[in-house]
Amino acid sequence: MIVLDTHALLWWALDPDRLSDTAHTVLAEAERHGGYASSISLWEIAIKVKRGKLELPISVDELVRRLEKGAVIELVAVDTATWLRSVSLPWAHQDPADRVIVATALNRGVPLLTKDTAMHEFPDVRTIW
């Protein structure tokens, strides 16, 4: 099991050539045994699309529908425990979405699949790319 960062989720779903070889291997395993993505990733994608910073070949609604229908990656709601853990992380990084994604991985006790170097620098979560 693994938690996918926003870009890893997006690339896995729509542009797998952007994934590293290691990410392909990990995601092949997730396709057999499941994985997680924080629902904040969907918010992050939708905000970028709305602001014109990201173009998708399908609507955000269609992306979510496909993710839910595929049932490979469980979309995890951001609950109170995750919010509280995200604000208590001993980490200077201030991006709220990144903090929630790290907190999700910690709460689930699984590694985080991310290319983001700031997330790789956080010592308490195992990151993979």
92 — pLDDT class (breaks 50, 70, 90): confident
Strand order in the sheet with 35-38: 73-76, 35-38, 3-4, 112-113, 127-128
User: Structure pTM?
Assistant: 0.93
* Residue ranges of domains in the chain: 3-128
What is the CATH architecture of 3-128? Answer: 3-Layer(aba) Sandwich (3.40)
Percent of the chain with pLDDT over 70: 100
pLDDT of residue 65: 95
48: CB partners within 8 A, 6+ apart: 54
pLDDT of residue 69: 93
Structure tokens at 51: 């602001």
Distance CA 72, CA 68 (A): 8
